[in-house]
Amino acid sequence: MRTEVDIAWAAGFLEGEGSFEHARRPAMDTRVKHGTLRVSVEQTQLGPLEKLQSLFGGKIYGPYVRKPRYIGGANIQPLWIYRITGESARELVLDIFPYLFEKRKEKILSILDAVPSKIRMGVVPEAEREFHPSIPVGAEKKP
């Protein structure tokens, strides 16, 4: 169970370290035509990524060993990558949205407008209607 403190922590962590992207799949992949929402974070510390995974799901990839950028470079720690995509990423974004700064909110809204979702199919979550300016209240279709 996620608490408000957990959600606020995730928002702060992702605001500072995360990446919100409109990820397009390769042209050969016919399952998703227009791409998907992807949230990702790269870290040398595994702990914060495991916390995100326990709160929202997603996958952790790594460790990846990086090469020093110059001869005699410092000891470089392994890199871990957390990723969550699709509707799971949308749920994460809906939870943390109130805690984000305006610039980040604008980027997320532009991604949500570009990717296929339940909104396009007529199912509009109540939480999303509250902040998404292009969705009028009561706009969802009845099945």
The position carrying tokens 């990558």 is 81
Residue 59 host element (H or E): strand 59-64
For the chain, list the domains and their CATH numbers: 4-26+34-131 (3.10.28.10)
What is the pTM assigned to this prediction? Answer: 0.74
> What's the pLDDT score for residue 65?
85
What is the tens place of the pLDDT at every residue in 45-80? 999 999 999 999 999 999 998 777 666 666 678 899
> What's the pLDDT score for residue 66?
75
DSSP 8-state code for residue 45: -
130 has a pLDDT exceeding 90: no
> What's the pLDDT score for residue 55?
97
pLDDT, greater one: 35 or 95: 95
What is the Rg, in whole angstroms, of the alpha carbon atoms belonging to the chain? 17
What would the two tokens of residue 117 be?
């979702």
The Cα–Cα gap between 59 and 40 comes to 10
Q: Is 72 left (phi over 0), alpha (psi -120 to 50) or beta?
A: left
Please, what is the average pLDDT of the chain? 79
